[in-house]
Amino acid sequence: MIDLGFVGQRFTWCHHQVHERIDRALANEAWRLVSTDILVAHLPRVASDHSPLLIRIKPVDAGLPVQKKFKYLAAWESHQDWQQWLRDKWCDSLALPGAQ
């Protein structure tokens, strides 16, 4: 098993004056080859003696096009054809690769 490391606070658990890093994200070598862009973050403790872990996993690119986020700008509404334009752009952003 491989420890995926972390960013953030050094310790994930505390009890009185004892602080330790006991919460970890682990993976085997095969899984690590599939997901190369991994971020493990230790978040602040709120109502527990453990810090929550946030794990962001980005799989290896399989040659698919990157989907861009759709951003809506209120200024578009001033154009006379904005509703049709929005409909077209929205449908384009939802289209799957290879779909007809």
pLDDT tops 70 at residue 13 = yes
Cα(100)–Cα(38) distance, integer angstroms: 34
Count of structural domains, the chain: 1
Asked if 39 and 56 touch (Cβ cutoff 8 Å), the reply is yes
Q: Is residue 44 part of a domain?
A: yes
Q: Is residue 33 part of a domain?
A: yes
Q: Is residue 21 part of a domain?
A: yes
- Give pTM, 2 decimals: 0.52
Domain extent for 18: 2-58
CA-closest candidate to residue 22, choices 49, 46, 2:
49
Of the pLDDT bands very low, low, confident and very high (cuts 50, 70, 90), residue 20 is: very high
Q: What is the pLDDT of residues 73-89, one digit of tens each?
A: 788 788 888 888 878 87
Q: Is residue 35 part of a domain?
A: yes
